[in-house]
Structure formats: C-alpha cells, structure tokens
Structure 1
Amino acid sequence: MKIRVNRWPNFPGAIMAGLIVVGFCVLLLWHDPLVFWNDDYELSVLPVFADISRSWSEGHLPLLSPYSWVCSNLAGEFQYGTFSIFVNAAVVGIWKFPLTFPQQAAALSITHLIVLAIGAFLLARDRKLSVPLSIFVALIAALNGWIICWGATDWFGALGAFAWLPWAWWSLERDARALDRVVVDQVFSRNENLDGRHGESARWRIDLPDAERRRPRSWNVRARLAGDF
C-alpha cells in the first residue's frame, strides 16, 4: 500500500492565520472605510504607488517620476520598494482593479499583513510550538498596535519591511541547522614594538552545533585570545 506523505503540514494553519487577519481588517473597514488611508499614506505613499503602476503600464522601470517635485527619485526612496519584486507585483495587481485610493491602500496593507502573519506562523511552528500557539504568535505579529496603528495605516515602509522579518529569521535558522559547523578565524598580528613586546594574535571561533544536539538553535560563540606579552 502506498503511503502518502503530507509535504505541507503547516499549510492549513498558515491559511487560517491569514484568514483571521483578513477578517479583522474587514471589521476595521466596516467600522471606518478610511482606516488605512491616513497622513503619509494618502499624501505620499499611495500617489507614488500609482505612479509606479503607471510606469509599469507604459513599459518603463519605475526609477524616476516626471510628475512629482518631491518624490521624483523613486529608486532612491527606500520605502517605496522600487526594487522589490513582491511590492511591484502587488501594486500592479491591485491597480488592475477599479478601486478607490482608500481601497487600494487597504488591499496593499492587508496583503502585507497576510505575508507577516504567515511568516510568523511558520517561524513559531519551526520552534516546535503547537498550531494554536503558532496562530496566536501570527496574530500578535500582524495585529499588534504598532503595526496596525502605524505601519498598516500610516507609514507603509514600516509594514513593508517588518512583513519579511519572520521570513528572514525562519530562513536563517533553517540554513543554520543545515550547517554542521562554521568556523571563522581571524588572526590579528603586529610586529614587535619599541617596548620589546611580542606579536599578539586573536583567534575567534564561531561554532554552529549540529541538528542532533540538544539545543540546535543556539549559537556557541567562543573567543580564544592568545598573546605573549
């Protein structure tokens, strides 16, 4: 009998976390349709994204804008994510729909909140937390006051950057466990000086333990200094 292996054991939980985030944002929009449309979002962020969408639709890479005397250097403004494949794809996709500016802002923020929630869920599951606790971690990461009241509704740069933090953390930990050992050696030496002191050397060693050890996620950093004075 052929045994089927579930290659996506965390898929249902990740989808559940994303759906809860969407439901929470829908409640916010039901209470206030302009909740994601405030201050910098309406004055700077969304108009620039509209310009980025226009640039792509005309077949140009959105590096410079001829329609702004404040934010014309799109590539130099890090918060617009000009070189981010995900941000550009999200902007182009959302702007294909006949949405108003407040609705576009909500769609863009909710998209990144979903990414943040799923990344936090996977990071928690990778640390051996149960599915309910991992969903709880995802909701804390995506729906905390700083993200909702600042990143998602005012300053998109904060949300756009923080959304990928758990993904980077999760990827680094998985790569670290795949390594048996990383040794970084750096030797500093100097010639004998006028006082007659001999050369000094410093050897720094960073060991990443194997996955089979008791604490595979801890990094043991040992510094060994050898000097002859």
Structure 2
Amino acid sequence: MNTDSRITVLIVDNDAWVRRGMKDILEAAPDIVVVAEAEDGDQVAAKVTRFRPHVVLMDLKMTRVGGLEATRELMSMPNPPKVIAMTAFDVDGVVVEAVEAGAHSFMRKDGAPEDFQQAVRVVASDHALFSRDSLRAIVASAPRQQVPDQAALSVLTDREREVLAELATGLGNSDIAARMYLGETTIKSHISSLFSKLGVNNRVSASLVAYRCGLVT
C-alpha cells in the first residue's frame, strides 16, 4: 500500500513500552503507520502541528499534562485529528470528560490488537466507535448535574430526533440514510443542524444526549 494512503497515527503515552507495543500492533496492519510518538500531553500540540496525524491515540493519565487537557487543546486547533482516549481502567469521570471534550472513542489498554486497529480505521473515517454498553457506562459515570432533561430535545424537529436516535446506535451516515430512505447529504445536513441546536461538536456527545434523555435505551 502506498504510504500516502495509509492512516497516520500519533501515540501519546508516558510509558515507552506501551508506545512500542502500540506501534507494533498498529503497524502490523498494512493501512496504518505511526508517524510520531509523545511521552506526555505537553508535547501533543507541537507533534500534531508538525506531523499532521489523522488519529491520536491518547493516554488519559500522564505525568505533566493529562490526556484530557491535551484533547481539549487539540479540539481548539483548526482541523484537529481524531482522538482515541486510552485508559488502563474502566469508564470513569475522566473518560466522560474526554468524550465530551471531543474524543471519538475510548479503548482499554488491554484490548485486543485487532480492536485497536479497527478503532483507528473507524475514527479516521469520521465515525465514532462506542458500543452501546460503553455509551451506557459513560452516561452512568457522568456527573448528575450535567444530565439534561427532556427539554434538551425540544429544540429538535421530529426528523432530527429520528436521525439522532439512529446516530446514537453507532450507525454511520450511509447506514442512517439507507434506514431512513433519505440521501446521505440530507442526513449530513440534519446532523449538522442537531449538533448546532444541542451545542455539541461530535457524534459521541450527541449520542450522550440521546441516552441521557431516554431517546434510546
């Protein structure tokens, strides 16, 4: 495969052995290449500016600057890369905040190699990767004061609610379009509109609203 067509990845972790292992796992796939590594969150913005990776594999717990802060910084940049949050633990408050800051997926570090490869492919194609169980765990871990009530959905049209419900199951735009018998461009327009109305900037945050409000269970 031509190098220019491969998905480029930045690995951020303060453990050199983890970085080496992740690099070996990802580069075992012919369509993925690791272009840079960082040992702490304070190096991430500079590495992204220099290497322009498609995806950042981000450890959330680091020594100087954590992955949450680094993710927030990335999301403030023009055309930020997709972020996969990594943790050695199950879902907790930091994972919730990382998702709401813009992370497209989260993975436990003890996940299967093929799961990491697939996560990189999915988020690089502009989709979020969260199972229903993961989303439920994230919602359950969210601070109660952040949980909106049904009024959060009142700003949406009926069609936008339908699109949000499908989006929250993890479907991509083409699959949603097929299920709703609409064009993909129309689906993209509905998603852009509901993002704006809900005050979210990614599919995962929108999915969280859907779960919290009981639109999907």
Q: TM-score, normalised by structure 1?
A: 0.25
Which is richer in strand? 2
The structure whose RCO (Cα within 8 Å, separation 6+) is larger is 1
Q: TM-score, normalised by structure 2?
A: 0.26
Give 1 or 2 for the bigger CA radius of gyration.
1
